[in-house]
Amino acid sequence: MKHLLSKFVVTAAIAALTPLTTLYAATPPGIFVIATQIGEFTTLDPSEIYELVPSEYVANVYERLVQIDLHDPSKFEAKLAQSWSVGADGTTYTFKLRPGVKFHSGNPVTADDVAWSLQRTVLLGKGPAGVLADLGLTKESVTQQVRKIDEQTVTLQTDRKYAPSFVLNVLSAGPGSILDKKLLLSHEQNGDAGSAWLRTHDAGSGPYQLVKWTPNESLVLQRFDDYRTPYPMKRIVLRHVPEASAQRLLLENGDADAARNLSPDSLAALSKAGKIHVASWPASALLYLSLNTKNPNLAKPEVQQAMKWLVDYDGIQRNIVSTTYKVHQTFVPDGFLGVLDANPYRLDVAKAKALLAKAGLPNGFEVTMDMPNDYPFVEIAQALQANFAQGGIKVKLIPGDAKQAIGKYRARQHDIFIGEWSSDYMDPNSNARGFAWNPDNSDQSKYKMLAWRNSWSIPQLTADTEAALVEPVSAQRAKRYVALQRQVLDHSPFIIMFEKVVQVATRPGVTGPEVGPINDLTSYRTLKK
């Protein structure tokens, strides 16, 4: 729906935004203003941040030992580490640090900072600790597993042998950010490792440093001129603009250089008028259906296949999610090692009916579908309800609060669930362990990933996923993940439909951020105007 605003309402809306500067026909030189949504910020501590936009902040204010090469996900760029090696045992990783690197405070970056930072994340035990736990780092053992050898050398001991690319991928994610130990301990309160202070300050060494965060209003960053190669833009301003219509006005009026949340209609209209440039980037979020095999009908392989042939993928993409999602039917997102670029399914009612008849259900059956009660899940579910009805499958929709719907799903109490899955780090294991791994299908399992939630017992696929995780050669590892995707594509209770597409709108003559498949790979190094 398009909204018509009076001049008075528009003026009031803009005036309500953070008064960072006087309004200009164009933003001031050297300052890059991004209209976006930063309402999910609750802290600036990388050891606590587990949300999307805050992860982007961490990516530009902090550094990790290594970072994945976005142009070749089998390779890694040296960041704080100038070199690394893997011991003969396959579990000992040694990192030599780049000399002369300083934190924003002026303190030198040392191996002590590196070891302490990784230990701190694990010991705090917040959401990001779960990512490092994938390397076997626990509260009980992390101080022994991650150790300073000398001022420029640190070692990490994993709990077992993994593919080196997997270990480096985990360390390249946001929870692997390195913090200024000396600075944080100077602000420590009651043994909190500086957490209270870091909620509103920064302790990083990245290309930008924090100026000020005003919750639900703005986040201001300043270029760190002592960075190895300073970035082009002197100051970055993220302005919290919840309404897409207000973001459009700021962009059109020259009060923002880029907008991150414009509606498909606005993107199309402004782009056609030559007022903006739109860059599209695939994100790692997959929108999918899961079928609980506790339901005897949904457990039948022919029914699972039939339902995949009853989805109008192209029609839903075109009419509901437009430019914000693209059809993607495999569990590894684009840009990841080993992605299988295959979308074999389409709406084919005759084929679906033949499969249902083979399953002994020629007249279909009744089933329920749970979903979060917001866009685009409800709209897609309604379209799927009509699609499945063509094969005789009668779906009762149960929309609910997101926490409620996801809670029911995690308890294995659903028939069908529609939702999103996002990767924790840019490695195919992050998704394989969701869609193709279930080491314990009992109700008491401590591994309650996606296959478990759908009561899908898969000992062979689980073994294949474990083998892919420890395969040391990247090319061979990629082949293993391709094979895993083919198996899940052909025979599984998952109907993977779409991959998210992030769109950034910029004014003419402006270059926006480089957006990674996951938010903590989004970089401001490309910002220019």
Nearest to 428 by CA among 335, 310, 342, 343: 335
Q: Are 292 and 274 in contact (CB under 8 A)?
A: no
Which of these ranges, 108-112, 314-318, 373-377, has the smallest mean pLDDT? Answer: 373-377
How would you classify the pairing of strands 366-372 and 416-421? parallel
Q: Are 384 and 369 in contact (CB under 8 A)?
A: yes
Give me the pLDDT at residue 69, please. Answer: 85
Top-level class of domain 63-193: alpha beta
Give me the pLDDT at residue 25, please. Answer: 55
Q: What DSSP character marks residue 528?
A: B
What is the CATH architecture assignment of 283-502?
Answer: Roll (3.10)
Q: How far is CA 290 from the centre of its chain?
A: 20
Top-level class of domain 7-44+206-276+507-521: alpha beta
| pLDDT > 60? residue 219 | yes
Distances 84 to 3, 88, 154, 269 between C-alpha atoms, Å: 55, 13, 10, 49
d(CA 222, CA 61): 10
Q: What is the mean pLDDT of residues 371-376?
A: 87
d(CA 26, CA 255): 6
Q: What is the mean pLDDT of residues 296-320?
A: 97
Q: Are 201 and 210 in contact (CB under 8 A)?
A: yes
3-state helix, strand, coil split of the chain in percent (to 5) is: 35, 20, 45
Q: What is the mean pLDDT of residues 311-334?
A: 95
Q: pLDDT band at 19, cuts 50/70/90?
A: very low
d(CA 443, CA 46): 33
| pLDDT > 80? residue 2 | no
| Per-residue pLDDT tens over the stretch 71-123 | 787 789 999 999 999 999 999 999 999 999 999 999 999 999 999 999 999 99
**Which residue type sits at 111?**
A
Q: What is the mean pLDDT of residues 124-139?
A: 94
| pLDDT > 60? residue 257 | yes
Give me the pLDDT at residue 449, please. Answer: 92
Q: pLDDT band at 516, cuts 50/70/90?
A: confident
pLDDT mean across residues, the chain: 92
d(CA 97, CA 100): 9
| Surface-to-core class of residue 363, CB atoms within 10 Å of its CB (0-12 exposed, 13-18 middle, 19+ buried) | exposed
Q: What is the pTM of this model?
A: 0.83
Answer yes or no: same fold for 7-44+206-276+507-521 and 283-502: no
Q: pLDDT band at 424, cuts 50/70/90?
A: confident
Distances 503 to 86, 302, 424 between C-alpha atoms, Å: 39, 38, 21
Q: Are 85 and 94 in contact (CB under 8 A)?
A: yes
DSSP string, 350-388: HHHHHHHHHTT-TT--EEEEEEESSTTHHHHHHHHHHHH
∠ CA 97-102-105, rounded to 5°: 145
Nearest to 512 by CA among 189, 278, 293, 161: 278
| pLDDT > 60? residue 286 | yes
Other C-beta atoms closer than 10 Å to the C-beta of 1 total: 4
Q: What is the mean pLDDT of residues 452-468?
A: 97
Distances 184 to 80, 179, 197, 243 between C-alpha atoms, Å: 19, 8, 8, 37
* Ramachandran category for residue 411: left, alpha or beta (phi over 0 → left; psi -120 to 50 → alpha): alpha
Q: How far is CA 64 from the centre of its chain?
A: 17
| Per-residue pLDDT tens over the stretch 462-508 | 999 999 998 989 899 999 999 999 999 999 999 999 999 999 999 99
Q: What DSSP character marks residue 317?
A: I
Give me the pLDDT at residue 264, please. Answer: 84
Answer whether the bond into residue 376 is a cis peptide, omega within 30°: yes
Tokens 């420890």 -> residue: 470
| pLDDT > 70? residue 29 | yes
Give me the pLDDT at residue 70, please. Answer: 77
| pLDDT > 50? residue 17 | no
First CA to last CA distance, the chain: 32
Q: In this structure, is the dihedral angle defined by the CA atoms of residues 204, 207, 211 and 212, taken in order, positive or negative?
A: negative
Q: Are 212 and 35 in contact (CB under 8 A)?
A: no
Domain ranges of the chain: 7-44+206-276+507-521, 63-193, 283-502
Torsion of Cα atoms, 157 then 159 then 163 then 166, to 10°: -80
Q: Which helix (H) or strand (E) holds 408?
A: helix 402-410
**Which residue type sits at 131?**
V
d(CA 284, CA 494): 17
Nearest to 285 by CA among 325, 243, 247: 325
Distances 359 to 120, 308, 366 between C-alpha atoms, Å: 53, 14, 15
d(CA 112, CA 182): 10
Q: What is the mean pLDDT of residues 326-350?
A: 96
Q: What is the mean pLDDT of residues 61-77?
A: 89
**Which residue type sits at 513?**
P
d(CA 33, CA 512): 10
| Interacting residues of 404 by C-beta distance below 8 A, sequence separation 6+ | none
* Ramachandran category for residue 205: left, alpha or beta (phi over 0 → left; psi -120 to 50 → alpha): alpha
Q: In the chain, what's the furthest Cα-to-Cα distance?
A: 72
d(CA 466, CA 161): 11
| pLDDT > 80? residue 22 | no
Q: What is the mean pLDDT of residues 407-426?
A: 94
| Per-residue pLDDT tens over the stretch 195-214 | 999 999 999 999 999 999 99
